[in-house]
Structure 1
Amino acid sequence: MSDAGRADAFLADLPPDQDNRGGRGRLKVFLGAAPGVGKTYAMLLAAQAQLRQGVDLRAGVVETHGRAETEALLAGLPQQPPMRSLYRGIKLAEMDLDGLLAKPPKLALVDELAHTNAPGSRHAKRWQDIQELLAAGIDVYTTVNVQHIESLNDQVRDITSVQVRETVPDWVLQEAYELVLIDLPPRELLERLREGKVYVPEQARAAIDAFFSQTNLTALRELAMQTAAARVDADLNQRYRQLGQEAPTVRGRLLVAVDGDEQAERLVRHACRVAERRHLPWSLVHVDTGGVRNEVARTHLQAAQRLAERLGGEVVSLRAGEVAKTLIQHAYERQASLVLVGRSRQRLRRRLFGLGVAERLLRHAEGLEVSVLDTEADRVPATFRPRYPARVGDYALAFFATLLATALAWGVSHVLELPNISLVFLAAVLLVAVRTSSGPALASAVLSFLAYDFLFIPPIFSFTIHRHEDVLTLLFFLLMAALTGNLAARQRRQLDALRETQSETGALLDLSRKLTAATDRQAVLTAAGQQFAGWSDMDVCLLGRSDDGAWKVEAGVSRQLSDAERVAAEWAWQHDQPAGLGTDTLPSGRWWWWPLSGEDGPLALLGVSPKSEQPLPAARRRLLAALGQPLAQALARAQLAEDLEAARLHGETEQLRSALLASVSHDLRTPLTSMRGAIDSLLTLDDQIGPQDRRELLESTRDEAERLDRYIQNLLDMTRLGHGGLKLARDWVAPVDIVASALQRLRPLLTPLAVETEVPAELPLLYVHPALIEQALINVLENAARFSPAGGRLRIAVETDGEALQEGGELRIVVSDQGPGIPEAEREKIFDMFYTAARGDRGGQGTGLGLAICQGMLGAHGGRVTVGEGLDGRGASLTLHLPLHPQPVLEDDL
């Protein structure tokens, strides 16, 4: 055994952490054979012992049934007040689940595990309430009688002749940390009944006569002991795992094959018990041969599938033409060791030819254990029921097809020989079989047989046959007509099944194709909404959570939800389980909610509301679950992409912070040092400094202050650009005004250079944020001035396209210098933040933010910056591209 398996076994056996409220609570079940054996009394005794040890506990619901000794034990325990409701004029009291969850104790006492909650409760069953308490980290003590275990329901009915309606899935008991058997001999229990310690005397006499006979109690006691023994086997298996050894059991899988008959649920319960005893995983398998089933068979099948899901089994639906071979192939694929089937109805053809599923499994299943459960005593007397019911119109088609074939055969009887005429009738039988099913095809074969005999076999117009060879011909005709009709009908059923499978596969492929092209969450949800929009029999919506926790419809039908439907959606989201219509949790609404979950919980909620307002059939729920799986994966992929982008941005932010600190320590400190030196000189020397020197020191201080101001302004602008805080207050402005203002602001810096301007007289107006575009131009000019040699040329040119005001027209401001130039490999990098800081000084001082800010400011306007060659083959030129808009109508033009 692997170390992981041993670790899991040890973790499952560790006591719960007293301080960890985030883990799952533990369940302790007090099991009895019948009411009155002392389960509640034993639970309260154990609770009193926990209370003396200082455990925080609360009694959620305890049914004392008026027993004095039980009430005495309950009196000393903290209790949760019940939740009372009014249903049809009757006051009902139920456990206050929300009260327990609001202030969770360490241990809760919840009596009667199989109890059915009052209508309107969150869950239909009390065991579901207990599951929610366990999920909240609360330990639970509970009680249950053996007749309420789901897989024993049929055996209990056989023993007591009473059908128990309140049942608990076996997996609830299997996940219990501890199961305690409370045993009392039947004679002592009967004595307690007679003394009125279980029920009042009138109820006790009725109970003894109807249920509490000594024979019934003995049989129920045996069932309780078998259940406890199975739990001992499971505990032993866990101990083997802790030792790193495999328990001495044969592993494999159990497959139970069911059909749409009345024994399906009994087969499922029996399979659950066998799988539990053998410690095997198990699956319910139904092979759909494509036949049309009536409503009763469909109801039986769906009930068996739902029961298997409740009992912890896997539900598998297969489509094929032959049941036994498909089951054997599936058993080999899943490495199953045991196949359980029910005994087929003993129809005449099965008695003669041995064509039942069980017989074929026994004949062909090599290496598999085949178990056949005979439930013939439970079946109602066999009545004729067509396996594939046909409509009246199908039989009408069979009649008219035979009539047409008869007329055609009569018309060609003088041309064709007698054996060839039968082919006309065979064609009619094939036509009916392809268009309908086996029943009408067989009817057509019989009618064709009679018509062929009456009209074409001598003597004509009589059913009498004189020649013996004609009898054989007719019999062979009938046999061939029946066989070909049945074969054609089977092929049609398989074709219909194939079409249905293809439709489902096509839906999955179509959704997968749409999801593949979706790059973000909204695109994924939009693709899903388009996929479900074609389902006309139901409304589908996809819900998400907004930042404030409110529900929002992100795709599909947008419809107002009632309070009950919102509560069901909330519960499905929190517990990552289906809820709503057709489930046992808040089923009163019109919506069925299915959470689409990733590793960290739900990502969205799929809601389905059938227009018939009836619960979805099992096949449709499975299809939705199948479609939900790639949808959940696509949502998880989109979420992962968003997380990776956030992580990337976080990394870039950290890199930006490091570069910013480096820039501040180097570039911002330089002007401060110069300013401080000039001020110290003025303060120290004072009168010793001449007027000209004093003026130079003050001008130097002013220049350094202006440079420092520009650095800080660049940092602020870059921060606003990166965080979306830069707002565009657009206005119409002339390009010449922007150029003139920028040159005026940089006059001291540009004085050593020969500045040339080329600005046409007639230029279109720009619809921009004037201050931002001016700042962008200033950054470009400052960058050019820093890299230009003293006395070098610097040219500013404004250009437009010939069709500047047409769609896509632009205005360009070109700044060219005679500096060292920019290598072509580095032209894209100069727009990166802190590029100067990363490479050191490039001939000038600065943070390296100017061009990055310029790129961001123009990008906010829909423009860009490009780099080219400078003047006279030297230096570089930076071009600011700005889009042009339709010009405004000026008052002078009116």
Structure 2
Amino acid sequence: MTDAAERADALLADHGEGRGRLKVFLGAAPGVGKTYAMLQAAQALQRQGMNVRIGVVETHRRAETEALITGLSQQPLRRYDYRGMRLAELDLDGVLANPPQLVLVDELAHTNAPGSRHAKRWQDIEELLAAGIDVYTTVNVQHLESLNDQVRDVTGVQVRETVPDRLLQDAYEIVLIDLPPRELLERLREGKVYVPEQARAAIDAFFSQTNLTALREMAMQTAAARVDSDLARRYRALGEDAPALLGRLLVAVNGDGQAERLVRHASRVAERRHLPWSLVHVETGRVQDETERSRLQAAQQLAERLGGDVVILRAGEVAKTLVSYADEIRASLLLVGRSRPTWARRLLGTGLASQLLQYEAGLEISVLDAREEGCRSVLKAPYYNSQNYWLALGATAGAAILAKAASSLLELPNISLVFLAAVLLVAIHSSRGPAVLCAVLSFLTYNFLFIPPLFSFTIQREQDVLTLMFFLFMATLTGNLASRQRGQLNSLRQAQAETSALLELSRKLTAATDRQAVLKAAAQQLGSTETDVCLMSRDSHDQWQAEAGTAAALSETERAAADWAWKHEQPAGHGTDTLPHGRWWWWPLVAEDGPLALLGIALRNGKPLSAEQRRLFAALGQPLAQALARARLAQDLEAARLHGETEQLRNALLASVSHDLRTPLTAMRGSIDTLATLSDSINAEDRQSLLDTTRLEAERLDRYIQNLLDMTRLGHGGLQLARDWVSPGDIVASALSRLRPVLAALRVETSIPPDMPLLYVHPALIEQALINVLENAARFSPEHGRLHVTVEHHEGEIRLAVSDQGPGIPEAERAKIFDMFYTAARGDRGGQGTGLGLAICQGMVGAHGGRVTVDTGLENRGATLTLHLPLHPQPDANDEG
């Protein structure tokens, strides 16, 4: 490939096949002139002949901004009614129906009105880009997801509307619109950004000199971070590889209050260092409360939005597992949060960072200090389950009663084992907190009831103090170990359940041979008492049809979500940001050349799927999509095979019948020409002979054509069995009557016993099969030879046997005579035939569930061909038809 071609491919790859380009006008704060600059650029492009349209632009009634709208075509906004208000949003479908070259969509971080297709405007922009439309948009730096914590720290305001950083990373161009803070504050005071009342409130709450300076610095840093990305793009445009990226960043999180802050910090570090990154969570089996689980899920979803991967590991030791995984994937940087300070960690140095530093793994380890509010939030929401703590209290009381009853039999040191057993029991059935409480209560009860002086917490003997301390230590240690083992066991059970689900689904899919079997197996495996499953696809009229699972009655919103998921090959529906107001969560099952089916999941309690459930169903969807692709490939291969066989049959038929059809036609034409030319000079006997020859050749031609039609119907599955009750004797009589001219030179004998059962067959087809056998026997029989037709009833079947005195069929060739176009010339008195007669015979009999066999003929000469037809229960004499 030439250098020019490589550069061209690089440019095409950079633009994305059929994908639009995104240009972002970035500012530090509202009022710096982003919309004004965007409209100026649009006006310049329209003067150059580009088709530009305004999708949505917020002028905030600024006269100079509104003046720039003049001359630009505008897409009418779409109206939504919400809580008595009339809201106007971008008409996404209107733009897609008549796409311009460039569309202007202001305020990238805007939240759409309820009822819109997407929850966020940046998702609308992604759909426009996917449709090949270029987009200009604006955004303020405080709306970037990775800077959310930093903006809150600087301004004291938590920004709720955020956009993923990947949008700016994928943007073709970023234009920084800068305005010094003093000038921006002056514009605010003059009412050029907000009305005066709003301006004063904004200055007091957000737009202070300090805040604007910090936001301006963030905007400049964000724009500067694009330099290396632009440099890599230039390398690609030159057909060269950018400098290789080494290593990977891992950020370890759990369910504490700083999880999302860690993810945002990891995203910024990864962007600055140009490292791929992953969020890692180690499941140790520790029981998490609802708050911790929701925080962990939020952090995982945030990582996915910011472009990171999510990895779940299951092990007992967090530090060792993190180091081992980092070494496995060749990570270079590990980011962790500072462990919540406790007296034990201060004394023993058992924080996560301290444990990581004990390993010589060659890793760069960064520790992000925990904020006070994060620590407080953990303390405010401890794991509390009253039943577990009541269990600890009851176990202590029960142990005390049992120990008191056994105190007369056991020595004092052995009584502590009773309390130790109670601690283990609580730890196994609850969590660490109740186990520690049980250990403390057992310690106090043991001292109060059994350590002299009794019924007092005073300890007289020094050895009793040591005994109690050892008891407390052992009780706490064993309680923690038992609680951890129980948690790990639950975690392993969950992992085993997921693995078993994958294996069971794979096993069922492997046994499925076609699409319907695959979908049925998937619906059975994915469905449960808690979830409804629906597998859908498009029919020939582009309408949704349920192929397996629960037949979904789709509302308009759910149908729109299904359409969007199918078209864009991305999840949509309940629990996502795209058309989330329905009941179903849609996951497209995609192959290389497009979607194969649509998987719908709905919880019967109406709640959205959790992040773990979505990941599980997505993982199960991968082998399902592969099985559907395999089934379609098998179907395509079968169609290709049938097409090849059809072509082979067509070619063979043309080659075989070209001579056989010409022979009777030539004879008929000769006879007709003779009659037409010499009709007056030919005597009556010769004229009759010519007419008989013409008739015989016409019948011969008719049989050839009938064989061809029958073979075509058999080969294409078009043979329809119109069954009826018929006597075997009638079939034999009719076949002999039709072949009377052919059999005239032979001695035909029949043996048909009276009271033969009736056959439930297609009479015409069985008659034609018998005619083919008789004609074949006639061709190979000597002149004036015997031909014997026998009908027998034997072991639940009727046998129609035709025996001749021809040369016979060697055993080596008996299996071949039923092949198409196979003929044998020995003893053939009728000349070459098409070789289709016996193949058609076998096909017709086989369609009735019968078979054809070959044996020796009359007097150990010739051949016997027998049609075996199954018997059906005979009809009642009173039945009609």
Alignment partner, residue 132 of structure 1? 127
Equivalent residue number for residue 218 of structure 2: 223
Q: Which structure 2 residues correspond to residues 189-268 of structure 1 after superposition, within 5 A?
A: 189-241=184-236, 246-248=241-243, 250-268=245-263
Correspondence for 1:495:
489
Contact 1:35 1:145 in 2 (8 A): yes
Asked if residue 296 in structure 1 is aligned to residue 291 in structure 2, the reply is yes
**Is 1:569 aligned with 2:556?**
no
Q: How does 1:23-172 map to 2 (within 5 A)?
A: 23-172=18-167
Q: CA deviation at 1:892?
A: 11
Aligned to 2:323: 328
| 8 Å CA contact retained: 1:795, 1:817 | yes
Name the counterpart of 1:811.
798
Amino acid in structure 1 at the alignment position of 2:400:
T
Range 267-276 or range 544-553, more displaced: 544-553
Q: Name the aligned partner's letter for residue 688 of structure 2.
A: R
- Of residues 696, 703, 706 in structure 1, which corresponds to 2:696? 703
- Please identify, of 723-732 and 143-152, the stretch whose mean Cα deviation from structure 2 is larger: 723-732
1:880 to 867, 873, 877: 867
**In 2, distance between residues paired with 1:205 and 1:12?**
51
1:462 aligns with 2:456: yes
The CA deviation string for residues 509-539 of structure 1, in whole angstroms up to 9 with x for no partner, is 2222222211111111221222233x22222
Letter in 2 for 1:408: L
1:95-154 Cα distance to aligned partner (Å, 9 max, x none): 111112222223222222222111101111111112212222222222222222111112
SS in 1 for 2:225: helix
Counterparts of 1:892 and 1:636, CA distance in 2: 51
Match of 2:843 in 1: 856
**TM-score, normalised with respect to structure 2:** 0.94
Q: 1:445 aligns with which of 433, 439, 446?
A: 439
Distance (Å, rounded) in 1 between the aligned partners of 2:48 and 2:663: 72
Structure 1 residues 190 and 428 mapped into 2: Cα distance closer, same or farther (>3 Å)? closer
Per-residue Cα deviation, 1:73-116 (whole angstroms, up to 9, x for no partner)? 32212222222222222112211111122222232222222221
Aligned to 1:721: 714
Deviation (angstroms), 1:744: 0.7
CA distance in 2, matches of 1:287, 1:862: 63
Letter in 2 for 1:87: Y
Using the TM superposition, give the Cα deviation of residue 639 of structure 1 relative to its aligned residue in structure 2, in angstroms: 1.3
The CA deviation at 1:345 is: 0.7
Q: Which of 752, 758, 781 is 2:751 aligned to?
A: 758
CA distance in 2 between partners of 1:151 and 1:359 (Å): 27
> Which sits farther off after the overlay, 421-430 or 497-506?
421-430
The residue identity in structure 2 corresponding to 1:762 is: D
SS in 2 for 1:544: strand
CA contact (8 A) 1:6 1:241 kept: no
Matched, 1:318 2:305: no
Instruction: Give yes or no for contact 2:459–2:465 (8 Å, CA) kept in 1.
Output: yes
- Paired residue type of 1:519: T
Residue 380 of structure 1: how far off its partner (Å) = 5.4
The worse-fitting range, judged by mean Cα deviation, of 496-505 and 204-213 is: 204-213
Task: Determine the C-alpha separation between the residues in 2 that align with 1:195 and 1:163.
Answer: 27
CA distance 1:249–1:549, shift in 2 (3 Å): closer
CA distances 1:22-41 after superposition (whole Å, capped 9, x unpaired): 82222222222222233223
Could you tell me how far 1:352 is from its partner in structure 2?
0.9
Which AA in structure 1 matches 2:11? D
Helix, strand or coil at the partner of 1:75: coil
Question: CA offset at residue 353 of structure 1?
Answer: 0.9
Match of 2:426 in 1: 432
Distance 1:518 1:396, change over 3 A: same
Q: Which runs of 5+ in 2 are unaligned?
A: none
Alignment deviations for residues 803-848 of structure 1 (CA, whole Å, 9 cap, x no partner):
xxxxxx2212122333344454544444344445999x99843333
CA RMSD of aligned residues (A): 2.8
Alignment partners' CA distance in 2, 1:636 and 1:302: 32
Match of residue 610, structure 1, among 603, 609, 618: 603
The Cα of 1:256 is off from its aligned counterpart by 1.0
Partner of 2:392: 398
Question: Matched residue of 2:358: which SS?
Answer: helix
For 1:209 and 1:892, locate their aligned partners in 2 and report how far apart those are by CA, in whole Å: 99
1:771 matched to 2:768: no
Q: Against the structure 1 CA distance between its residues 815 and 278, is the aligned structure 2 distance closer, same or farther, given a 3 Å change threshold?
A: farther
CA distance in 1, matches of 2:673, 2:89: 85
CA contact (8 A) 2:10 2:236 kept: no
Distance 1:872 1:230 in 2: 100
Q: Hey, what's the Cα distance between the residues in 2 that align with 1:837 and 1:598?
A: 52
Find the counterpart in structure 2 of residue 584 from structure 1: 577
The question of whether the paired residues in 2 share the 8 Å contact of 1:508 and 1:627 is answered with yes
Please tell me the residue identity of whatever aligns with 1:866.
Answer: T
Aligned twin of 2:531:
538
What is the CA-CA distance between 1:662 and the residue it aligns to? 1.6
Q: Which amino acid aligns with 2:356?
A: L
Distance 1:381-1:403 versus aligned 2 partners, 3 A rule: closer
Which 4+ residue blocks in structure 1 deviate beyond 6 angstroms? Answer: 3-9
The more displaced of 80-89 and 447-456 is 447-456
User: Partners in 2 of 1:53 and 1:661 — Cα distance?
Assistant: 65
1:588 Cα deviation after fit:
0.4
**d(CA) in 1 for partners of 2:350 and 2:371?**
18
Are 1:176 and 2:171 counterparts?
yes
Q: Quick one: distance in 2 between partners of 1:587 and 1:49?
A: 39
CA contact (8 A) 1:796 1:813 kept: yes
Matched with 1:798 is 791
Following the alignment from structure 2 to structure 1, what is the Cα–Cα distance between the partners of residues 2 and 162?
35
Of 845, 852, 858, the match for 2:832: 845
Distance in 2, Cα, partners of 1:91 & 1:318: 49
Whichever residue aligns with residue 121 of structure 2, its letter is: R
Could you give the per-residue CA deviations for residues 845-894 of structure 1, whole angstroms, max 9, x where no partner exists?
A: 3333323332332233222333333334443332222221111122499x
For residues 824 and 47 of structure 2, the distance between their equivalents in structure 1, rounded to whole angstroms, comes to 71
Q: Deviations over 1:488-509 (max 9, x none)?
A: 1111111121222222222222
CA apart distance, 1:5: 14
Displacement, 1:645? Answer: 0.8
User: What is the rounded CA distance, in whole Å, between the counterparts of 1:478 and 1:358 in structure 2?
Assistant: 28
Give the Cα–Cα distance (whole angstroms) in 2 for the partners of residues 113 and 383 of structure 1. 34
1:350: Cα distance to partner?
1.0
Shift of 1:378: 4.1
Task: Compute the displacement of 1:189 (Å).
Answer: 3.0
Segments of structure 1 that go 5 or more residues without pairing to the other structure are: 803-808
Counterpart of 1:14 in structure 2 is 12
Q: Which moved more, 1:735-744 or 1:104-113?
A: 104-113
> Is 1:308 matched up with 2:303?
yes
Give the one of 350, 368, 373 matched to 2:368.
373
| Pair 1:659-2:646 in alignment | no
Which residue in 1 is equivalent to 2:856?
A: 869
- CA shift at 1:786, angstroms? 2.5
**Aligned sequence identity (%):** 73
Q: Deviations over 1:598-637 (max 9, x none)?
A: 2222222111111221111111111111222222221111
Structure 2 distance, partners of 1:355, 1:15, is 50
Question: For the structure 1 residues 280 and 826, does the alpha-carbon distance in structure 2 shift closer, same or farther, using more than 3 Å as the test?
Answer: farther
Q: Distance in 2 between matches of 1:432 and 1:250?
A: 51
Deviates more, 1:545-554 or 1:303-312: 545-554
Is the contact made by 1:390 and 1:440 (CA closer than 8 Å) also made in structure 2? no
Q: Distance in 2 between matches of 1:846 and 1:216?
A: 99
In the alignment, the residues of structure 2 paired with residue 838 and residue 11 of structure 1 have an alpha-carbon distance, to the nearest angstrom, of 66
Contact conserved, 1:787 with 1:844, CA < 8 A, in 2?
A: no
Which range is displaced more, 866-875 or 28-37? 866-875
| CA spacing shift, 1:248–1:599, aligned 2, 3 Å | closer
Question: Per the alignment, do residues 448 and 72 of structure 1 end up closer, same or farther by CA in structure 2, a change over 3 Å counting?
Answer: closer
Distance 1:791 1:58, change over 3 A: farther
